[in-house]
Structure 1
């Protein structure tokens, strides 16, 4: 049986960050993943994610977003790999109805209030002001826009790869295609059961994303919803240049929670990556439908894009599937495992976790090391 000080189960956004910080401790550390991260089976792929400091989901997340940006800037300086693009961000609101599921009702105003209380530079523009700078966004007269210069893009696959490479360089062992079937307690340690062998660890972090359900009793599994999300890359019209220096954007444009869209400029300059949100539940990540139909693309164009964003063709270069792990309150879970006291668990980032992931990994590593 292999013996280690600390084992990390799941090496996505938070797990790779935690492994990186744990690897600097001098402890014997191992990271395990059922796939080969960075991969396209979880919640941390698709080239880009939004980072923003005024987090309308709750003021308690502001420090995580700020600290994560600091960590990634440090890693950029160390590796000379770009992990962030501070292209700025726009939050657009209908001005007549509250936002629904994304962060709860009043998401736009919560964002503005948090920006003010946290002294985050920002401005509020009317449709005419927005059109003068970003004519691709066709706001109605009742709509308004929040502008945050410190927002932008993070590159999830690069970040995960960088954190894992640095962890390995620091001495952490990494095992890919190594799903953990179960965990149990024995003589004050945690036993990890894999297909062909066991690992004994003094401390464990379970950062398995949607697969957190595999480590929970039946009554707790129900509190974690797996919600399929579809990402689309929509082609830019030839000669249309206003997307070249486009900020990231989020737009709540209607009366229903599904009346929402967000998007990013892409690195190749040929397309805009966009998505909405869906909260239809799939029982388990293994059961997720990862195909995207032509009908889904057509519906997305008609219901979300057409008449709102100028300069795009009704042509999809590609579409991909990922998923959210969602709690009813959209809050994160960072707590002790219900039956294995030496195991911490983190999950249910509810669709807004990557921007906070480096700081979450740092905090979890500190918790584990302080209790060792």
Structure 2
């Protein structure tokens, strides 16, 4: 039987799709989720051991001002699913060149009342013995952040949603979407609903032309490592570390709650086929390995446990804005761009569900999720 608010088909079972399904079901919609592989899908962008979340966003101040609400939505989700998969910690930023990060970060953190402070460079070597201190110009400690554990979050969401009556269609590759009729064709079979939400990650452009000029799939490499034994204890106690150098730029998540040490970079390839393999080649990791050697002492002594490829949807320009838009009379398209999707996924899903439910105008939703907030306006309070 349809839910009291109507029916919705969600295409994609990553964090954006499952969060949208969660937010819609809470509002009384009957929801069906279609995924081209298993649920959760190991090939999905969202599927990973751990991901960073934080309040400091540099020049992307609009996203910084979304983070208190994003944290609050995650808290609400964890309360409903029964387990908190967020390891709260400080996030440390190491600056080596001027990259336009410090001034807007100080401005946004100050406005939000989020704590931060400089770390004297003379203390960095003792506090973080793994870090290459040569060339550092500044070290900044921020209070709000930590690590999310995606595989566990996705799995809990699937169990919770299934228990709430959400219908899952695994191994169902969507071939066609009609945004005017609310019609979806998957594995040659037709389905209809009052609304359709496309949250297909790096496959979004195969289902709709709406974002073709805005976003593109990007093949990205990460590495999982075992540190030298003498640094194992330091890494186990370390917070999230982000190197802001032009050549050395990396983000590093320490081993926590049974995960491995992980390192990646934020340089987008804007190339590759999301249907391709997930095995990183020497060429895939060449830039990452070079950056890691500049950021960490004796990096060649770290053992590589896995080199992995994931695919993000990223903007064709450098704006890194989310692209969330209505399509036709009955559809929405969600592209949580440029590596920021997981930390903001539940907020994106809740915002799209609010628009579908008539709680918020489409234009307001689009502007909010693109980080286009009025910087002169008061910082939004977290949602209740």
Q: What TM bracket, shorter-length normalisation?
A: 0.7 to 0.9
In the TM superposition, residue 55 of structure 1 has moved relative to its aligned partner by 2.2
In structure 2, the CA distance between the partners of 1:54 and 1:228, relative to structure 1 (3 Å rule), is same
What 5-or-longer segments of structure 2 have no aligned partner?
A: 361-384
Q: How far apart, CA to CA, are the structure 1 residues paired with 2:23 and 2:237?
A: 34
Identify which range, 341-350 or 289-298, moves more after superposition.
Answer: 289-298
Indicate whether 1:242 and 2:244 are aligned.
Answer: no
SS in 1 for 2:243: strand
What is the aligned partner in structure 1 of residue 24 from structure 2? 22
In the TM superposition, residue 57 of structure 1 has moved relative to its aligned partner by 4.9
1:334/1:344 contact within 8 Å kept: yes
Give 1:275's match in structure 2, choosing from 261, 264, 282.
Answer: 264
Indicate whether 1:88 and 2:75 are aligned.
Answer: no
What is the aligned partner in structure 2 of residue 101 from structure 1? none
What is the aligned partner in structure 1 of residue 98 from structure 2? 97
Q: How far apart, CA to CA, are the structure 2 residues paired with 1:246 and 1:318?
A: 21
Q: How far apart, CA to CA, are the structure 1 residues paired with 2:79 and 2:259?
A: 29
What is the aligned partner in structure 2 of residue 330 from structure 1? 320
SS in 1 for 2:8: strand
Q: How far apart, CA to CA, are the structure 2 residues paired with 1:333 and 1:314?
A: 38
Give 1:363's match in structure 2, choosing from 343, 351, 354.
Answer: 351
1:65/1:359 contact within 8 Å kept: no
Q: How far apart, CA to CA, are the structure 1 residues paired with 2:214 and 2:286?
A: 33
SS in 2 for 1:16: helix
Q: How far apart, CA to CA, are the structure 2 residues paired with 1:348 and 1:322?
A: 15
In the TM superposition, residue 325 of structure 1 has moved relative to its aligned partner by 0.9
Q: How far apart, CA to CA, are the structure 1 residues paired with 2:72 and 2:176?
A: 35
1:138/1:307 contact within 8 Å kept: yes
What is the aligned partner in structure 1 of residue 308 from structure 2? 320
In the TM superposition, residue 281 of structure 1 has moved relative to its aligned partner by 2.8
Indicate whether 1:33 and 2:35 are aligned.
Answer: yes
What is the aligned partner in structure 1 of residue 182 from structure 2? 190
Give 1:136's match in structure 2, choosing from 119, 122, 130.
Answer: 130
What is the aligned partner in structure 2 of residue 221 from structure 1? 212
What 5-or-longer segments of structure 1 have no aligned partner?
A: 99-105
What is the aligned partner in structure 2 of residue 110 from structure 1? 104
SS in 2 for 1:277: coil
Matches within 5 A, 1:306-317: 306-310=293-297, 313-317=301-305
Q: Please, what TM-score do these two structures have when normalized by structure 2? A: 0.84
Matches within 5 A, 1:273-312: 273-282=262-271, 284-286=273-275, 288-294=276-282, 296-297=284-285, 300-301=288-289, 303-310=290-297
What is the aligned partner in structure 2 of residue 60 from structure 1? 62
1:234/1:315 contact within 8 Å kept: yes
Q: Please, what TM-score do these two structures have when normalized by structure 1? A: 0.86
1:235/1:317 contact within 8 Å kept: yes
In the TM superposition, residue 222 of structure 1 has moved relative to its aligned partner by 3.9
Q: How far apart, CA to CA, are the structure 2 residues paired with 1:201 and 1:351?
A: 30
Q: How far apart, CA to CA, are the structure 1 residues paired with 2:102 and 2:320?
A: 16
Give 2:49's match in structure 1, choosing from 34, 47, 50.
Answer: 47
In the TM superposition, residue 232 of structure 1 has moved relative to its aligned partner by 0.4
Indicate whether 1:341 and 2:320 are aligned.
Answer: no
Identify which range, 106-115 or 13-22, moves more after superposition.
Answer: 106-115
In the TM superposition, residue 271 of structure 1 has moved relative to its aligned partner by 4.7
SS in 1 for 2:242: strand
SS in 1 for 2:183: strand
Q: How far apart, CA to CA, are the structure 2 residues paired with 1:343 and 1:271?
A: 39
Q: How far apart, CA to CA, are the structure 1 residues paired with 2:52 and 2:259?
A: 19
Q: How far apart, CA to CA, are the structure 2 residues paired with 1:161 and 1:268?
A: 16
In structure 2, the CA distance between the partners of 1:307 and 1:193, relative to structure 1 (3 Å rule), is closer
Indicate whether 1:264 and 2:253 are aligned.
Answer: yes
Count of aligned pairs: 353
1:233/1:318 contact within 8 Å kept: yes
2:57/2:105 contact within 8 Å kept: yes
In the TM superposition, residue 268 of structure 1 has moved relative to its aligned partner by 6.6
